[in-house]
Structure 1
């Protein structure tokens, strides 16, 4: 392990990153080649229907790989941190947990896929022509489910031990075997799509077998023996807490591809084939960058475990710049070679045209962010314009209600209508305010002002309101705290927080406002006693139109927009706002950089 520790702790950052990441990137390239091999050799049968069937089946198969990533990425993170902390025995237990977790979950998934196969085929949009070949492929691949999970998992875990070459070797072996067997089984044996599936299973069995043999030979400091299996000492939760979020990207990518294929099915099998090939072309950039990330992760995990924070930052900086440059180059190459790549897989003119169109769209998606931002600004402007237009008819309705009341006297229906018009008018004003606070701050609106004076003025305004309601308001506001931002926004922020506190504070309770400076940040805090708060709902308090107690909010005139506006104000000043409930007291805290 000494060479590994030297690489993780002392080697120059570029050397450490590239030595660990390049094998991972090469392994992901092999995964990509193996992914493309099925489609390529199937395309040599001159049947774009079979290409469409593989395109439908691939994202379903990738779900197995995504679940293997849960154990692989989660296990890698926990193991690398354990090594950084000097806990070798804990690392062995985590490794064993990952192995037997893959076996158990893989068997369950395989049985579920086989049992619900017809429902899955309906869900992914298989047509009359693609139904049987897709079913054949998925049935055979599902039989090898546990081996897929093990192969994916340990291609990651071995990197935590400082064995990136061994991790790559297992993947290369499985993928290379698959590529070799594809032409033999698909074309020479004339097994078609069944041959592609069998080659895939054999490749995964070989990859999993390589990793198992490596551990059984005693060459590793880790273990897959059942005697080391444990879910205690935060092994189960530790692996899943890291692994599930890390695999969500792959899982959601599979789900989104399934949805896209199902939608494409309505345009025919040629459209499905075209989309499948377009996905594979654009996947090249993503797979290489994923490999880079997988290679860097053990280095970062070790730094966290060993508390090497300065090295952690250097690795992060280098990795970000390198991955950005890499993705730009890969995207450019894919765009320039897109036509040639597509021709390798598709023969029908219709499917080629679909693939070329879809590839152009997918490769240029990044350029659509500008229009999306512009569209968001248009939506905000619409809220403002529509609200302005609604004010006139509301004013007329209010005047008409007054005339009716003068003519016919007081009436409960007229009172109800007037009340609702008043509420609607206030709601429109609040929506306009929210839309404006979500806009980007203009330079000429920014000024340096005293947040202390605004806080004190707000406290003075709300103190008599609190006392009239049988409550008290105290404050702790130091002199001369300055902030650079939009002054009117902070008058509104204090107003929202204090108004909220006065309305929902328990009877005879004390509301406390405090302003303080810590480091470069200003802390604004408002607290008050409030019985019966559901702590599970605290995170929703800043959602638009959310009201913790609808009946109480209605009686106090609340719309569920105030705290959303407060959050928008804080966010546009590069800050954050949160709430906390303890011992019957709820506290809202805004943290804002002084020179935001």
Structure 2
């Protein structure tokens, strides 16, 4: 695999560079998303639709702790990209060492708390009725693997900041493939049920950690740290925290959304309605993988060129990223509008001998998922501006606007909408909250992005 120099982020044509950075990111996200998707299909077909709902209850807790690593990774990687662009490699090394220390301290502490409050957290996130027992089994096992996940998520963003997207792609593929292989072995062959599904996920995290460790110990990485870099530096911690808080806040709000959605939908339609949302949630993770890939590819390009004061290239990267992401989003939108029923059917078992409860749940899911999915993804073609706009502020180190724009969709619009609209429109009120929030957030992001470009990037010819 050819090495990629960080200097190429500031010299290659933007279109070519964005494709080279985004395609591996998109492939990695695709494989990781396919892992979640296929994992849910395996669980639904081999264990049952209640099991899908149980995993949906656990995800926000485990993902929030794992997102601590991503937050520290993205916050630190923004510093690393700008430091490398400015030729300050010592700061890049010190930042990476601080990222590792901070990730370990934060995630291990959160896992301990998560295990202590297990019987409180699961019902709070909608794990009630028949969902509770399988959710507790899955949660307890997966949480032990979450620190490995956090290190992987942190390390992956650093690899990308070094300008090595292919290695980052491999790091995302390994746990996905490992999880699916273990799913087949533990669930289908050994018949371990939810225990098997949980161990398959945990083994995937550990495999990813092994590869991340290998990369940074090998000659492929430019960041060769020593023990002195692990000592926490107040200035670097403050910068990592301010920028990483954007990502962590987004995941915290996502966890709150899961909490509210699972409880609201359980009240409207019981376990079956939670299963509908679980399927749609998997599609939200999977379907937009090319858009997220462009966003991930855009971050180091914008950060490096901003650090190098090449503002024309920053403007070009914004415009090109929005165009590419909008095209991908439109293609996704068309597919989801045409095939929602077929997608829903993939997650449901048709094996003989299903219980009356499972048969009733399957029937309910097949009836309600297609229309819900069309509403949820109705505004998909415009999300590119929203995602790229928020990512730009994060890439250039402006934490406050990045935080506000990141929270705009779910925090400022979506949460109030799902608390109000279901009172008047019941189930429909939940689903129409998605496109309304997307439209409002895109309008706000577009306004602030345009204002920032005029104020910062158009005042120079560099």
What TM-score results when the alignment is normalised by the length of structure 2? 0.76
- In 2, are the aligned partners of 1:96 and 1:223 still within 8 Å (CA)? no
Matches within 5 A, 1:316-327: 316-327=318-329
Cα pair distance change 1:57/1:144, threshold 3 Å: same
What is the rounded CA distance, in whole Å, between the counterparts of 2:89 and 2:55 in structure 1? 43
Q: Give the whole-Å Cα distance in 2 for the aligned partners of 1:283 and 1:122.
A: 23
Q: Does 1:33 align with 2:47?
A: no
Contact 2:183 2:197 in 1 (8 A): yes
Q: Is 1:342 equivalent to 2:336 in the alignment? A: no
Pairing 1:197-276 to 2, within 5 Å after superposition: 197-223=198-224, 225-232=226-233, 234-266=235-267, 267-276=269-278
Which has more strand, going by share of residues? 1
Partner SS for 1:234: helix
Q: How many residues align?
A: 372
Contact 2:66 2:150 in 1 (8 A): yes
Are the aligned partners of 1:92 and 1:221 in contact in 2 as well (CA < 8 Å)? no
Does 1:69 pair with 2:70? Answer: yes
2-side partners of 1:112 and 1:45: how far apart? 32
Look up the match of 1:362. Answer: 376
- Cα pair distance change 1:367/1:305, threshold 3 Å: closer
Hey, what's the Cα distance between the residues in 2 that align with 1:368 and 1:288?
Answer: 14
1:233 and 1:282 mapped to 2: Cα distance?
37
Deviation at 1:15, TM superposition (A): 0.6
- Unmatched segments (≥5 aa) in structure 2: 350-361, 384-443, 449-462
The aligned residue for residue 331 of structure 2 is 329
**CA offset digits 1:360-415 (Å, max 9, x no partner):** 2212257999xxxxxxxxxxxxxxxxxxxxxxxxxxxxxxxxxxxxxxxxxxxxxx
**Alpha-carbon separation, structure 2, partners of 1:285 and 1:56:** 20
The CA deviation string for residues 155-196 of structure 1, in whole angstroms up to 9 with x for no partner, is 111011111111111111111111111111111111111111
Deviations 1:323-342 (A, max 9, x none): 11111111211222221111
Higher RCO, 1 or 2 (CA under 8 Å, sep at least 6)?
A: 2
Question: Secondary structure of 1:190's partner?
Answer: coil
- Kindly indicate whether the alpha-carbon contact (under 8 Å) linking 1:69 and 1:153 is maintained by their aligned counterparts in 2: yes
Matches within 5 A, 1:542-557: none
User: Is the CA contact 1:282–1:359 (under 8 Å) kept in the aligned structure 2?
Assistant: no
Post-superposition shift, 1:356?
Answer: 2.2
* Equivalent residue for 2:296, pick from 294, 297, 302: 294
* 1:235 CA drift (Å): 1.1
Contact kept in structure 2, 1:281 and 1:338, CA below 8 Å: no
Are 1:114 and 2:103 counterparts? Answer: no
The residue number in structure 2 matching 1:307 is: 309
Q: CA offsets, 1:408-430, max 9 Å, x none?
A: xxxxxxxxxxxxxxxxxxxxxxx
Structural RMSD (CA): 2.4
Q: 1:3 to 1:286 in 2, by over 3 A?
A: closer
Aligned to 1:279, the other structure's residue is in SS state helix
Please say if residues 261 and 272 of structure 1, whose CA atoms lie closer than 8 Å, have aligned partners that are also in contact: yes
Equivalent positions of 1:273-284 (< 5 A) are 273-284=275-286
Is 2:66–2:146's contact at 8 Å kept on the other side of the alignment?
no
Q: How does 1:579-590 map to 2 (within 5 A)?
A: none
Closer, same or farther: CA 191–37 of 1 in aligned 2, 3 Å: same
The structural deviation recorded for 1:233 is 6.4
Kindly indicate whether the alpha-carbon contact (under 8 Å) linking 1:126 and 1:265 is maintained by their aligned counterparts in 2.
no
Give the Cα separation in 1 of the matches to 2:164 and 2:227.
Answer: 22
Distance 1:224 1:175 in 2: 28
1: CA distance, partners of 2:153 / 2:225 = 15
TM-score (norm 1): 0.59
Q: For the Cα contact (< 8 Å) 1:99–1:224, is it kept in 2? A: no
Q: Matches of 1:315 and 1:172 in 2, distance apart?
A: 27
The structure with the largest alpha-carbon Rg is: 1
Kept after mapping to 2: 8 A contact 1:141/1:201 = yes
More helix by share: 2
CA–CA distance in 2 between the matches of 1:64 and 1:240?
15
> Aligned equivalents of 1:197 and 1:88: distance in 2?
40
Q: Deviations over 1:483-534 (max 9, x none)?
A: xxxxxxxxxxxxxxxxxxxxxxxxxxxxxxxxxxxxxxxxxxxxxxxxxxxx
| 1:44 match: secondary structure | helix
| Aligned mates of 2:42, 2:4 — CA distance in 1 | 42
- For residue 46 of structure 1, report the CA deviation from its aligned partner: 5.3
The answer to whether the 8 A contact 2:145-2:202 is kept is: yes
Structure 2: distance between partners of 1:217 and 1:299: 24
